[in-house]
């Protein structure tokens, strides 16, 4: 019997004015503490080549609370402040491991507003959640049920750019168990015209949500640019732009979840390319289309769902010539421009659709690595 999977369930909620005020102050305090701790760590490394630990920043937080300048930190729960200090070392570990950029300071206007509460900072009773420093429970919209008997271990509250409030509950989910084994495997070739092409020959259409709303988004952005900075009208225009972005992101995420779940449920092995999306975004002609396809998000979903359900995900080398090789005889063509969508192998005379052929080669390469 394997370990029970911990899974986050995210819901909308509608705070009262008092709750919204308390949470907004908490978000601000989290941002201040994070930025000060990041500044301390950066200075210590640049000047002394010294790495600052969580314990040291936690002691600094205690001192900051005693000062007149930062006395307002005492007005909110201390747990979200401690949690942001705990997360900062992870950001540096990702940087040292070359998996992420150097941690950046949080901006009041641009950064995600969120606060994390552990078990000591909230009360969960009879399906109602009450956070520290609050008198009443949150009014949560229960769009789907939690697993029976679930008890949240961590609660994350956030507010997006459109003003929507969300609460994410981390619980143990005993319903997530390995699926029955199947004998199928599939190769997945990511693209732009087709979001993905499978080795079975199926092509999943790319809805291009950003392009569909591009005219509406451009109009909203023009209206925003005309508003006076600091005015209420500019704030309203900013929200209108944010709502369009949120609509695009929500629809894209929904599609990717459905696609990744289907691929994992129907196949024992899923083989993808190890694409460097960050480098590909340097192509200014295709950057917008690549970002709209969100290949990195799809890979992330496939990774954790494969782990959940006992499937295997294989990533083949990004330099593998999947488009240039014939999936029938293996002959390698010297060049294959993007403009060529179908071709005939000069060796075996097999006719290929470019993307289907690439997906078949990706599958074969992945199975050969096992």
Residues 283-322 as b/e (b if ≥16 CB within 10 A, e otherwise) read: eeeeeebbebbbbebbbebbbebbebbebebbbbeeebeb
CB-CB contact of 322 with 300 (8 Å): no
Segment (H or E) for 88: helix 78-96
Cβ contacts of residue 263 below 8 Å, gap of 6+? Answer: 186, 188, 270, 302
Catalytic (active-site) positions = 189, 273, 355
CB-CB contact of 295 with 275 (8 Å): yes
The full length of the chain comes to 370
Q: Strand order in 165-173's β-sheet?
A: 5-12, 165-173, 154-159, 113-118
Please tell me the distance from the alpha carbon of residue 98 to that of residue 146, in angstroms, as a whole number: 37
Alpha-carbon Rg of the chain, whole angstroms?
Answer: 25
CB-CB contact of 194 with 208 (8 Å): no
Residue 175, SS3 per DSSP: coil
Would you give the distance in Å from CA 120 to the centre of its chain? Answer: 27
Cβ contacts of residue 324 below 8 Å, gap of 6+? Answer: 332, 333, 334, 335, 336
Please tell me the distance from the alpha carbon of residue 200 to that of residue 367, in angstroms, as a whole number: 15
Please tell me the distance from the alpha carbon of residue 45 to that of residue 92, in angstroms, as a whole number: 12
What does the angle CA 5 – CA 11 – CA 16 come to, to the nearest 5 degrees?
A: 140
Please tell me the distance from the alpha carbon of residue 203 to that of residue 232, in angstroms, as a whole number: 46
């Amino acid at each position: 019997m394997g370990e029970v999977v911990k899974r986050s369930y995210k819901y909308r909620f509608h705070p009262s004015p008092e709750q919204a005020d308390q949470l907004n102050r908490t978000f601000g305090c989290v941002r201040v503490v994070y930025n000060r701790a990041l500044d301390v760590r950066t200075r210590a490394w640049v000047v002394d080549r010294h790495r600052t630990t969580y314990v040291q920043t936690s002691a600094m937080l205690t001192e900051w609370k005693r000062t007149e300048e930062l006395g307002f930190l005492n007005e909110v729960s201390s747990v979200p402040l401690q949690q942001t200090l705990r997360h900062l070392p992870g950001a540096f570990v990702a940087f040292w491991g070359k998996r992420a950029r150097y941690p950046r300071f949080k901006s009041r206007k641009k950064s995600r507003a969120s606060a994390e509460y552990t078990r000591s900072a909230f009360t969960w009773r009879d399906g109602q959640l009450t956070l520290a420093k609050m008198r009443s429970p949150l009014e949560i919209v229960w769009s789907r049920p939690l697993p029976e008997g679930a008890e949240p271990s961590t609660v994350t509250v956030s507010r997006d750019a459109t003003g929507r409030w969300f609460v994410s509950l981390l619980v143990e989910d005993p319903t997530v168990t390995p699926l029955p084994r199947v004998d199928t495997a599939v190769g997945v070739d990511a693209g732009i015209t087709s979001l993905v092409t499978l080795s079975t020959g199926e092509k999943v259409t790319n809805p291009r949500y950003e392009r569909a709303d591009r005219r509406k988004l451009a109009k909203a952005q023009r209206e925003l640019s005309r508003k006076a900075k600091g005015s209420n009208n500019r704030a309203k225009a900013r929200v209108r732009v944010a709502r369009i972005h949120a609509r695009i992101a929500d629809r894209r995420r929904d599609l990717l979840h459905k696609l990744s779940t289907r691929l994992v449920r129907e196949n024992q092995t899923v083989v993808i390319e190890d694409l460097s999306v960050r480098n590909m975004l340097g192509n200014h002609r295709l950057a917008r289309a690549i970002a709209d396809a969100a290949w990195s998000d799809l890979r992330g979903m496939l990774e954790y769902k494969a782990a959940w359900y006992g499937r295997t995900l294989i990533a083949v080398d990004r330099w593998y010539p999947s488009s240039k090789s014939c999936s029938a005889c293996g002959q390698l063509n010297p060049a294959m421009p993007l403009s060529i969508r179908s071709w005939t192998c000069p060796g075996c005379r097999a006719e290929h659709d470019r993307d289907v052929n690439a997906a078949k080669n990706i599958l074969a390469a992945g199975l050969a690595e096992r």
